[in-house]
A and B are shown apart, each in its own frame.
Chain A
Amino acid sequence: MDFSVVIEYFPRLLSGTWITLQLVVLSVVLGGIVALPIALARVSKNRWINSLPFAYIFFFRGTPLLVQIFLVYYGASQFEVVRESMFWPILREPYWCAVIAFTLNTSAYTAEIFRGAIQAIPRGEVEACMVVGMTKAQMYRRILLPRAFGIVLPAYGNEIILMLKGSALASTITLLDLTGMARTIIARTYTPIEIFLAAGAIYLAISIVVIYLFKLIEQRQNRYLGTLSIKVPDKG
């Protein structure tokens, strides 16, 4: 094995990393925004309101991300209507197709995480809100959503890492993200092990940074819980 190719092509790997980071940040932010209304509709007790988000979540969590990317990138171009519409300049670009597919995918997972968090809030807190006469909107804005945010954090951190790993699929629609860049370099140098391992190390480093950041945010968000955990010494 010859790791000098890694040093030679490291700047190009870094430019791929930059694309990967853009894809992840864009789709996680957009996905979070899309997920909130879906989660709120999902917890509704009205069957007409909660069945549509149920189908949406079921579809995007039950099918491979690869299929979803191909559906957006190749599938949309099958229709004349799409090709002549104003959205075509966006749907023609692999970059935006990847962002759209990732956003739809992560929003389904995030919506389930949000739903779990909203339902994990003790019933007593909801009752307390009603007792002090809050409207439903006030209750969500002041109590339920901030509480859900704290509960959501660990699972949300995991979801971002899953999205980071999923973003490697962008390379299948000709995007030069970290994996795509690695594959291009390998096509030229034919040193698969060295370059792929280097790419893997960069992904690993990003994951570790994300995990660390979320630990910090979690400590901050849930700091009020700190005083509650009283340590009881073991009785021998």
Chain B
Amino acid sequence: MIDLHGYGSQLLLGAQVTVELAMSSLLVGLILGLLGASAKLSRFRLLQWLANGYTTLIRGIPELLTVLIIYFGATTVLMGIAGWFGYEEYIEIGPFAAGVTALGLTFGAYATEVFRGALQSIPKGQHEAAIALGMGSMRKFYRIILPQVWRIALPGIGNLFLVLLKDTALVSVVGLDDIMRKANIAVNNTKEPFLFYLAAAFMYLALTVVSMVVVSYFEKRANRGLHRG
């Protein structure tokens, strides 16, 4: 590895934090996305209304602002809730937790649309066949619907992950020790901003390339049952 005035290993440590943040946010975002899509397609007006509000709000607000709102606002909100239960100590939420929450919420809002499209594209006959075989609605979802949704949604989710990977840089603004902040620290000490920000840029590029390879592997795997005509 290139030494970079001794900061190379620091940047790699930062990359580890970036990857951890991206993977945690992905997990939260996928769950929120599935819940959001189910809510949008549900029969209940209230759930539809909630899901629409969630996606419109999150998609219309800058990601940086979401990170700032969660980081600075969560303390107030959490302490307010804890206050109802008689807990009066100071609660602080760290940059990592705030980052996972903010990026997870953002990813979830966009993933809601992707999953909704995928859910809607599954033919009605598949549902009917599963019911005819006597599957309950949970079993039908896990065995029949979800594997197909996965296949259809994968390209969209892959794109969203690339966006998420780049958005992790924003969490450095509230002090998370990711690639970006390690680069800032190095710049403050060495006064060579171009070198370190370029190094950071290439680390993000490398992460992007790796993600693209992994996504295309998953896509091949998910499509293995399909014959090309």
Partner of A71 from the list B168, B170, B198, B208 (CB cut-off 8 Å) is B198
* B72 engages A192 (CB within 8 Å): yes
A74 beta carbon closer than 8 Å to chain B: yes
Report how far A108 CA is from B195 CA in the complex, Å.
22
Partner of B73 from the list A168, A172, A193 (CB cut-off 8 Å) is A193
Question: Interface code B160-184, partner A: CB below 8 Å = 1, 0 otherwise?
Answer: 0010001111101100000010010
Partner of A208 from the list B60, B77, B208 (CB cut-off 8 Å) is B60
* A75 engages B197 (CB within 8 Å): yes
B107 beta carbon closer than 8 Å to chain A: no
**Count of residues in A whose CB is under 8 Å from the partner chain:** 40
The A186-208 residues at the B interface (CB cut-off 8 A) are 186, 192-193, 196-197, 199-200, 203-204, 207-208
Partner of A166 from the list B62, B195, B209 (CB cut-off 8 Å) is B62
* A192 engages B193 (CB within 8 Å): no
* Contact of A203 with B62 at beta-carbon distance under 8 Å, contacts A66-B172, A71-B194, A192-B72 already known: yes
How far does the Cβ of B198 sit from chain A's closest Cβ, in whole Å? 7
B223 beta carbon closer than 8 Å to chain A: no
* A67 engages B169 (CB within 8 Å): yes
The A55-77 residues at the B interface (CB cut-off 8 A) are 58-59, 62-68, 70-71, 74-77
| Residues of chain A with a CB closer than 8 A to B170's CB | 64, 66, 169
| Residues of chain A with a CB closer than 8 A to B204's CB | 62-64, 67
A183 beta carbon closer than 8 Å to chain B: yes
* B173 engages A200 (CB within 8 Å): no
B61 beta carbon closer than 8 Å to chain A: yes
* B57 engages A204 (CB within 8 Å): yes
* A179 engages B73 (CB within 8 Å): no
* A179 engages B65 (CB within 8 Å): yes
How far does the Cβ of A89 sit from chain B's closest Cβ, in whole Å? 19
* B193 engages A78 (CB within 8 Å): yes
Binding site for B on A (CB under 8 A): 58-59, 62-68, 70-71, 74-79, 161, 164-169, 171-172, 179, 182-183, 186, 192-193, 196-197, 199-200, 203-204, 207-208
Question: What would be 14 A-B contacts, judged by CB atoms less than 8 Å apart?
Answer: A62-B204, A63-B166, A64-B180, A70-B197, A71-B194, A74-B197, A76-B194, A161-B60, A169-B64, A192-B68, A192-B76, A193-B73, A200-B57, A207-B60
